[in-house]
Chain A
């Protein structure tokens, strides 16, 4: 059973880190923070209304509240001229607060609680299983959704690789040859939001940020080109998650917390090594 939890953790960390790479390159890292908080009331309401916890329903609820969050931010910024970061701050703290109130109020009906919102419940992800048709393998349901998500992420990045790269690094040039910067900007953001929402249950609202941002930021320290950077992102995501998982099991502590922390430690070690060896040739230019 523990093997399934580990596999699930590794799959989620791969999807998150790859989708997050383009956010880090575009300096939109804190966007995950806002999204992962803001969608909570959507998840709770979707559950309360439909009574089921299947992924599409929860996704729909989360997307509605993701849009409400974006609407609120734009409204505060453009109509009332509240500063940019404060608009984001007001919108997501309010929506998260509403989500927490709903979770507490309907704790007996929703099988989410405050703990789960923060930690996720990856430990239990292996419990619910389904038998694969035609075989007698019992596979955890979450494994299937994590696997599908990874395929979607890799496929989208593969298909849109060229445009994503152009619009991340040289938006002016992209515009001049007719690649829409705005559309790819939203696609990158949309991909990240989808991954955030799907991973929410497993790792919770705050630790998903670690998976999205830290492996990509680590890989960026030792990369000069995008393609190798993406492979290194995946590698750092796997190694950090594996170490984090292993230590969490040894010490019997929060798995998601441990993964987040050891991704951070891994980042710090890589930065220190790069500085110590003066690896100055790793200078991939920042998009701006």
Chain B
């Protein structure tokens, strides 16, 4: 164990850990805007397209010079975006085809240059592979300094155009009509995506960089309804995932970092899918259960009210109740807790609140039957199934509306009394 964790004592480890966390958080902030603008796959195209910039920067510098590689990546990234736009504008091809063309042919060029780098005999030539899948353990403090300067530029630019960018993201037409230069903003955002991609190349690698632009934003969207909350969440998620990938990279130096960051991100996705307060599966399951429980309670009290209608008795034998399909001791207990029922000996007594509830459901049921029969001219023997559902959905407003439309009727299509509160 001791040997595995020994890197905790290396000062370099902590620098790299904090550095990659910071860089990934910044990238995910830009990704939040592209996610909301539904341009997520653009990030993938850019990330693949910048490879010639990286390999070219390496060849130009003749060594692994982070600053020159970064500049090469950013310039080629801008060329990638421009090429995609040129194709979309000049031909009848859709943006998705344009992206596929540009990303694959530029990646091909990058691969050609990469083979040149590998056979060049330049120092660190094998280090260039770290840019494909990320190798956090190979990041030096001076590399971090370069990446961080660009990351700070990204944050400052985002802050500077925050308001117009937000407006553009949520309401493009309104941004246009208020006189914002929408195409310029698009251009600035593209450059920010390119820069955000370039700062992550050594920690996550360019092949999987798209995940860092997409997944934290998607996770953040599951927990937030406001942009600022989304930005904070996605930043934190990306930082934790990058830290996890870095730790794995230091423990197993032959492993690339990027795939592990993506796997950690996916674990966050799974947890969010289960637990998210608005969209999560558990939340929706519980809501459905609650609805079912309400419906079953309402059915039971309706049944008891019908018992009163035919026998004029507010007490029911427990034995008799057991024969009805709605019977469940748990359900009866819940009705008792609502103050609808009371158990006395082997008898259930319907309390006034229960009577009111039963009357309300019965009234809603019969009003709906009458409405279907009178206004929609359905056959009288066809109206019951729909009313079985609608009785649980008809709110006070709708009931009032039905009563007015039908003129406060006395009886339903089956000549049964429509009960009112006296």
Binding site for B on A (CB under 8 A): 24, 27-30, 32-33, 76, 79-90, 93-94, 96-98, 100-101, 104-105, 114, 118-119, 206-207, 209-210, 212-214, 217, 220-221, 244, 248, 251-254, 256-265, 267, 271, 275, 283-284, 286
B residues within 8 A CB of A265? 105
Count of B residues near A, CB < 8 Å? Answer: 64
A residues within 8 A CB of B96? 27-30
Would you call A209 and B100 a contact (CB within 8 A)?
yes
Given A101-B263, A217-B97, also A94-B211 (CB < 8 A): yes
Given A96-B208, A275-B90, also A207-B107 (CB < 8 A): yes
Binary interface encoding of chain B residues 108-131 relative to chain A, with 1 for a CB under 8 A from any of its CBs, else 0:
111111111001000000000100
Would you call B112 and A253 a contact (CB within 8 A)?
yes
Would you call A94 and B44 a contact (CB within 8 A)?
no
Residue of B at shortest CB range from A288? B94
Sample of 10 further A-B pairs with CB below 8 A, known A29-B97, A96-B208 = A29-B100, A89-B210, A93-B208, A93-B215, A98-B263, A206-B207, A207-B108, A217-B101, A253-B116, A254-B108
- Contact with B105, one of A101, A214, A286 (Cβ below 8 angstroms): A214
Stretch at the interface among B146-154, B174-182, B217-225, B336-344: B217-225
Q: Does B85 contact A (CB under 8 A)?
A: no
Q: Does B227 contact A (CB under 8 A)?
A: no
Q: Does B255 contact A (CB under 8 A)?
A: yes
Binary interface encoding of chain B residues 16-52 relative to chain A, with 1 for a CB under 8 A from any of its CBs, else 0:
0000000000000000000100111101100010000
A-B pairs, top 6 by smallest CB distance, nearest first, are: A264-B105, A260-B108, A257-B111, A210-B104, A97-B262, A97-B259
Residue of B at shortest CB range from A213? B100
Residue of A at shortest CB range from B41? A85
Residue of A at shortest CB range from B215? A90
A119 to B97, CA, bound (A): 21
24 contacts between A and B (CB under 8 A): A24-B93, A30-B100, A83-B40, A94-B265, A97-B259, A97-B263, A98-B263, A101-B263, A206-B48, A206-B207, A209-B100, A212-B100, A213-B104, A252-B119, A253-B111, A253-B115, A254-B108, A254-B114, A256-B111, A257-B109, A258-B112, A260-B108, A283-B92, A286-B94
Minimum distance in angstroms from B49 CB to a CB of chain A = 11
A32 to B112, CA, bound (A): 22
A264 to B119, CA, bound (A): 25
Minimum distance in angstroms from A88 CB to a CB of chain B = 7
Minimum distance in angstroms from B14 CB to a CB of chain A = 25
Would you call A261 and B222 a contact (CB within 8 A)?
no
Would you call A89 and B40 a contact (CB within 8 A)?
yes
A257 to B114, CA, bound (A): 10
Would you call B111 and A94 a contact (CB within 8 A)?
no
Q: Does B79 contact A (CB under 8 A)?
A: no
Minimum distance in angstroms from A207 CB to a CB of chain B = 6
Given A83-B40, A259-B108, also A27-B94 (CB < 8 A): yes
Q: Does B99 contact A (CB under 8 A)?
A: yes
Would you call B35 and A33 a contact (CB within 8 A)?
no
B residues within 8 A CB of A259? 108
B residues within 8 A CB of A252? 115, 119
Would you call A257 and B107 a contact (CB within 8 A)?
yes
Stretch at the interface among B66-74, B273-281, B368-376: B273-281
B residues within 8 A CB of A84? 38
Would you call A206 and B107 a contact (CB within 8 A)?
yes
A88 to B45, CA, bound (A): 13
Q: Does B260 contact A (CB under 8 A)?
A: yes
| Chain A-chain B contacts (Cβ-Cβ < 8 Å), number | 212
Minimum distance in angstroms from A97 CB to a CB of chain B = 4
Residue of B at shortest CB range from A248? B112
Given A30-B96, A260-B111, also A114-B133 (CB < 8 A): yes
B residues within 8 A CB of A251? 112, 116
Q: Does B106 contact A (CB under 8 A)?
A: yes
B residues within 8 A CB of A101? 255, 259-260, 263
A94 to B99, CA, bound (A): 21
Residue of B at shortest CB range from A211? B104
B residues within 8 A CB of A94? 211, 262-263, 265-266, 269
Would you call B214 and A257 a contact (CB within 8 A)?
no
Q: Does B258 contact A (CB under 8 A)?
A: yes
Would you call A86 and B40 a contact (CB within 8 A)?
yes
Given A104-B255, A259-B108, also A90-B266 (CB < 8 A): yes
A76 to B221, CA, bound (A): 12
- Contact with A261, one of B109, B221, B273 (Cβ below 8 angstroms): B109
Would you call B101 and A213 a contact (CB within 8 A)?
yes
Residue of A at shortest CB range from B129? A114
Q: Does B361 contact A (CB under 8 A)?
A: no
Given A83-B35, A264-B104, A264-B105, also A88-B41 (CB < 8 A): yes
Minimum distance in angstroms from B215 CB to a CB of chain A = 5
Would you call B104 and A271 a contact (CB within 8 A)?
no
A275 to B91, CA, bound (A): 9
A33 to B43, CA, bound (A): 13
Minimum distance in angstroms from A68 CB to a CB of chain B = 13
- Contact with B132, one of A88, A114, A221, A263 (Cβ below 8 angstroms): A114
Would you call A96 and B101 a contact (CB within 8 A)?
no
Minimum distance in angstroms from B303 CB to a CB of chain A = 35
A114 to B260, CA, bound (A): 15
Would you call B115 and A264 a contact (CB within 8 A)?
no
Would you call B112 and A97 a contact (CB within 8 A)?
no
